[in-house]
Structure 1
């Protein structure tokens, strides 16, 4: 794949009041990572990205600085800028944030959209039927984004965008374990069933246990991979 093909999906900055700013650059690249189009270890070419995004190299570097502060990218002197590969500590931090936000959103979020959650389940099941691991990961991302969107908070949704970008990097490490994704499809479906019957507190408690289990499974897989 050429450099141009790698960045062909990235939207140009025209037509937005936030375009051509470092914050917009960081948001765009963060979304590309969350969508699985920029993978752990990928080198980010300044020339190709500045051309694809329609921004100066200085603006791009400012965007890199924002992503570096979030530990989503890594700058290596004399080598360049790379998409980060998550550590065990990153996994623990991701789940600490998710435990603080998502169960509360299920219990109290004023804008809970159960049909949107149910649609994500349909998409995840369709992907599971054909063993489409990236498709299951995509649907899972949409599901949990919708959970946080129920809070009605722009700031929490922005925070979740950062978490989802990191989560996608973690999920990439599970590409050799497709069953990890498939059994969480049904865990998400169980949450929707509880929410559809008005059992929001029960759904919140179920999600807490679900997140504990997912964190433990990811850490176990990570530690095993480090021994190879």
Structure 2
């Protein structure tokens, strides 16, 4: 089995184990959301009930309910007589997502002054994961690790509701990032920026980290709006 096949098998085993604990539509939606976040499903891709039923060993009604939940989250769209598809986002969607990110992420960083070393551990691990993936030329994995960094940024706020909102936002962002046909050119410049933000937070300079993050998000938004236009 190839390395990609091993990773897919490991992911499927983990997904089934999670569903064994609570086999509900919400849990299936969680799995499908993760697949979107990890780039397993691409924008415009049609999702068939059958393979998901077989993969996760759940009923068709459960899968349909999960589709409905993800449609409410703007990740999937139902087209009459055609089926369920992963959404394609527009430039307006990008602008709206980045407006939300600036409000939430920069506020989370600003209130992180004095965070304990443990509070920054998830940020540090995300930085290391992205750098390892870059060294091995795994640029889609760099994008996944980068999203982990931003999820950890929001986690600094200590809010379960914000964490949940960020998971949905990151799934939409994966759809946005897939418009960038050269993932290395897009993700590589942000490796150093993530490490610099982490460094500022480690030094206790939350305001400096927030200013860096604001500039970072503005630049990313500009690139993505151009790609979606």
TM-score range with shorter-chain normalisation?
Answer: 0.7 to 0.9
Aligned length: 216
- Is the 1:20–1:54 contact (alpha carbons within 8 Å) kept by the matching residues of 2? no
Distance 1:177 1:22 in 2: 33
Select which of 162, 165, 173 maps to 1:167.
173
Distance 1:90 1:144 in 2: 19
- Is the 1:113–1:146 contact (alpha carbons within 8 Å) kept by the matching residues of 2? no
Root mean square deviation of aligned Cα: 2.0
Q: Any unmatched runs of 5+ in structure 2?
A: none
Distance 1:91 1:217 in 2: 10
The TM-score normalised by the length of structure 2 is: 0.87
Q: Any unmatched runs of 5+ in structure 1?
A: 224-228
Within the alignment, does 1:176 sit opposite 2:182 as a pair? Answer: yes
Higher normalized helix content (fraction of residues): 2
Select which of 57, 61, 67 maps to 2:60.
57
SS of the equivalent of 1:71 reads coil
1:15 is matched with 20
**Aligned CA distance change for structure 1 residues 164 and 172 (closer, same or farther; 3 Å):** same
Distance 1:135 1:59 in 2: 30
SS of the equivalent of 2:77 reads strand
Q: How does 1:29-44 map to 2 (within 5 A)?
A: 29-44=32-47
1:102 is matched with 105
Shift of 1:177: 4.7
1:81 is matched with 84
The TM-score normalised by the length of structure 1 is: 0.87
- Is the 2:140–2:183 contact (alpha carbons within 8 Å) kept by the matching residues of 1? no
SS of the equivalent of 2:100 reads helix
